[in-house]
Structure 1
Amino acid sequence: MIQRFIELGEGYADVYELLDLIKYNKERAMRLAVFHTKLNDKKVVSPALIMKKTEMGNFQAIYISTEGIPDLEKPSERLRLIESAADQAGIPIVHLEVQPSVAFGEKELYFQHLVGILRMNHYIAPLSSSY
């Protein structure tokens, strides 16, 4: 199975795109992962919508808004909107602590790291699985 991150960006427009993905793809959405990290001494989160694999092509998309939302004591408005939309759509939410993207030489290595964490926690299928 091919499991690939599709990066949306860090701004408000990207959050709205993630909200629409949740709203219009709730039957295909599997779970929302919220990755917590520290970047330049600031706590930030990266929400990622994990989709079920496609019927054809054995492809699983993971839409992510990378490290653009502050991780505050009280959830920011953007994170609250995303979690609320996932909750209303019946999509489970998981929170995970991860290394920041700057700890990796390339963005692709960072995404491979996240795939490994998701697989290890059984939030996505193992590499050789057919489901």
Structure 2
Amino acid sequence: MIQRFIELGEGYGDIYELCELARVNKDRIHQAFIFSSTKDNIRYFSIAIALKPVNTANFFPIYICREGIVETQQESKRLTTFKEALAELSIEPIKVDIKHSSIYVDVNLYYQYIIGILRLNHLIPPLQ
């Protein structure tokens, strides 16, 4: 099974797009994630949804808005919007602490790192 991240942007429009993807594909959602990382003592959040493969397709997409949400004293409107969309669908996102993407030379290595963490914790299916 091919497990691949599909990166959306980090703006409001991208967050709304991710939320709409979740609503339209509510029967396909395997899991939703809120990833948190730290860089220069600032906490960043990434949000993602993993979708089950379609029919016999061997493709397991994980849509992500990477590190576009910065922690502030009040919860970000972007994070709130994502949580509200998931609450409509009765889905509780899993929170995972990870390293910041700036540590990696290539974004593909970063995504391989996250896929490894998700597989080790049985949050996504193993390779077949």
2:52 maps to which residue? 52
Structure 2 CA distance for aligned equivalents of residues 76 and 100 of structure 1: 19
- Taking only the aligned residue pairs, the percentage that are identical comes to 39
**Residue by residue, what CA displacement relative to the aligned partner does 1:32-73 show, whole Å, maximum 9, x if unpaired?**
110000134321100011111221321100000000011234
Which residue number corresponds to residue 103 of structure 1?
103
Is 2:6 the partner of 1:6? yes
For residues 35 and 28 of structure 2, the distance between their equivalents in structure 1, rounded to whole angstroms, comes to 21
Give the aligned length.
128
When normalised by structure 2's length, the TM-score is 0.94
Are the aligned partners of 1:48 and 1:64 in contact in 2 as well (CA < 8 Å)?
yes
Amino acid paired to 1:108: N
Q: Confirm whether residue 68 of structure 1 aligns to residue 50 of structure 2.
A: no
RMSD: 1.2
Q: Which runs of 4+ in 1 moved over 3 A?
A: none
Q: Which amino acid aligns with 2:70?
A: P
**Aligned partner of residue 15 in structure 2, secondary structure:** helix
**TM-score of the aligned structures, taking structure 1 as reference length:** 0.92
Q: Which amino acid aligns with 2:78?
A: R
Q: Could you say what secondary structure the match of 1:49 adopts?
A: strand
* Deviations, residues 2-57 of structure 1 (Å, cap 9, x unaligned): 00000001111110101111111111112111000013432110001111122132
Match in the other structure for 1:81: 81
Supply the AA of the counterpart residue of 1:99: K
Cα offsets for 1:60-117 (capped at 9, x unmatched): 0000000001123442111011011112102231001000001111000000001011
Question: What one-letter code is carried by the residue in structure 2 that aligns with 1:24?
Answer: V
Q: Tell me whether 67-76 or 81-90 shows the greater mean CA deviation.
A: 67-76
Q: Which amino acid aligns with 2:101?
A: S
* 2:127 aligned counterpart, secondary structure: coil
Q: Does 2:37 match 1:30?
A: no
Unaligned runs of 5+ in 2: none
Alignment partners' CA distance in 2, 1:102 and 1:27? 34
